[in-house]
Amino acid sequence: MKRKSDKPIKITEVCLRDGSHVVAHQYTEEQVRSVTRALDDAGMHYIEVSHGDGLGGSTLQYGRSLVNEMKLIEVAAEECKNSKLAVLVLPGIGTAAELKQAHGLGASLVRVATHVTEADVSAQHISIARELGMETLGFLMMAHMAPVEKLVEQAKLMESYGAQAVYVTDSAGALLPDQVRERISALRESLDIEVGFHAHNNLSVAVANTLAAIEEGATRIDGSVRCLGAGAGNTQTEVLLAVLDRMGLNVGIDIYKMMDLAENVVGPLLPRPQDINRGSLVLGYAGVYSSFLLFAERAGKRYNVDPRDILLELGKRKVVGGQEDMILDVAAELSKAQKLGV
């Protein structure tokens, strides 16, 4: 593989954060402990642990956690002998106090996430994280919703606040490889910091998109064991590692151990296979936030509306993360229209 960067690739495993959506945020202490222990043993670079919607996400709106996320972070920290512990925070959901608490429990890296056009709300959290001495990265979500020029503008803001890398985050799994190339290339040319990429597999191109990102110079890459993430999941970590190795890029993570972890530890946690079913496919097709799937399915059942119609309407309205309350509103409106024969 010809890469446009000579910096090493750093992998962040997100199955204990993004994967929290799949299990309705019901991870137990023992599950987090066993997955973290196996990831650490395999040599994973970073392990992200928090509510699926980041620190402070355990609410009625986003879904209550079974176990307080700070306890899960503490448990994971006890198992991290070589790997570094990471957390995600969305300003407006997670507070500075929660970020400081997570750091005190052992988190050494934070991704500060905002909608792709709202980087300005990340300034305080980035500044606080840098003051704490954490690796501090920006995370521009729903990156397909903004033109490349806007993406660059917002990434520059995060860089100016102190972010040490900025991610192109394909939250809806809506980007195609050429679109990924264009975005990663633009950020590489415009920033003096590292560029990252986070994919979802709703259109079955997560691995292809991730390879395109790496070729264009992205050095911070996300993966999820067994695709355990919102929607159809993320770039499947063990698959990505095998592909990279075949292409001559060994990132220092034991592939056999990752395969065993996927089969024996994470596999039993899956409530259902991470297939690309009609719901997750529509997420990518409509360009809708991947964590909306379960909410749309519940709303569809409640109002007797096809969840696909709900998701497509949400896409038309350009609804973004944080607007989960709109899902019920849209379902109710569609149900009313159906009854009226509109």
Q: Are the beta carbons of 297 and 279 closer than 8 angstroms?
A: yes
31 and 153 fall within a common domain: yes
Residue 321 CA, chain-centre distance (Å), reads: 12
- Residues making up the binding site for Mn(2+): 18, 198, 200
In a domain? residue 99? yes
Angle subtended at Cα 146 by Cα 288 and Cα 118, rounded to the nearest 5 degrees: 90
- pLDDT tens string, the chain, 342 residues long: the values are 789 898 999 999 999 999 999 999 999 999 999 999 999 999 999 999 999 999 999 998 888 999 999 999 999 999 999 999 999 999 999 999 999 999 999 999 999 999 999 999 999 999 999 999 999 999 999 999 999 999 999 999 999 999 999 999 999 999 999 999 999 999 999 999 999 999 999 999 999 999 999 999 999 999 999 999 999 999 999 999 999 999 999 999 999 999 999 999 999 999 988 889 888 899 999 999 888 888 899 999 999 999 999 999 999 998 877 778 889 999 999 998 888 775
Collapsing DSSP to helix, strand or coil, 269 comes out as: helix
Show which of 218, 239, 269 is a domain's final residue.
269
154 and 107 fall within a common domain: yes
In a domain? residue 2? no
Residue 247: closest CA among 220, 210, 204, 194: 210
**Is 115 part of the annotated catalytic residue set?**
no
301 and 262 fall within a common domain: no
Phi, psi (degrees; rounded to nearest 5) at 38: -70, -40
Q: To which residue do tokens 């990340």 refer?
A: 122
Both tokens of 53, joined, read: 């919607």
Phi, psi (degrees; rounded to nearest 5) at 166: -130, 135
Instruction: In whole angstroms, give the CA distance from residue 124 to residue 184.
Output: 25
Residue span of the structural domain in which 303 resides? 291-340
182 and 261 fall within a common domain: yes
128 and 183 fall within a common domain: yes
**What residues contact residue 261 under an 8 Å CB cut-off, 6+ apart?**
35, 38, 39, 42, 225, 238
Instruction: In whole angstroms, give the CA distance from residue 315 to residue 97.
Output: 34
101 and 175 fall within a common domain: yes
Instruction: In whole angstroms, give the CA distance from residue 110 to residue 33.
Output: 20
Q: Count other Cβ atoms within 10 Å, centred on residue 101.
A: 16
In a domain? residue 215? yes
CATH number for the domain that contains residue 330: 1.10.8.60
Maximum Cα–Cα distance for the chain, whole Å? 61
pLDDT in tens, 39-90: 999 999 999 999 999 999 999 888 899 999 999 999 999 999 999 999 999 9
- Residues making up the binding site for substrate: 17-18, 171, 198, 289
- Residues making up the binding site: 17-18, 171, 198, 200, 289
Catalytic pick from 21, 103, 115, 144?
Answer: 21
Element (H, E) at 187: helix 177-190
121 and 40 fall within a common domain: yes
Instruction: In whole angstroms, give the CA distance from residue 177 to residue 230.
Output: 20
Q: Are the beta carbons of 290 and 229 closer than 8 angstroms?
A: yes
In a domain? residue 275? no
177 and 68 fall within a common domain: yes
Collapsing DSSP to helix, strand or coil, 98 comes out as: helix
Both tokens of 63, joined, read: 């879904």
Q: What predicted TM-score, i.e. pTM, was given to this entire model?
A: 0.92
Instruction: In whole angstroms, give the CA distance from residue 86 to residue 99.
Output: 11
pLDDT in tens, 138-168: 999 999 999 999 999 999 999 999 999 999 9
Instruction: In whole angstroms, give the CA distance from residue 232 to residue 279.
Output: 9
234 and 310 fall within a common domain: no
CATH number for the domain that contains residue 134: 3.20.20.70
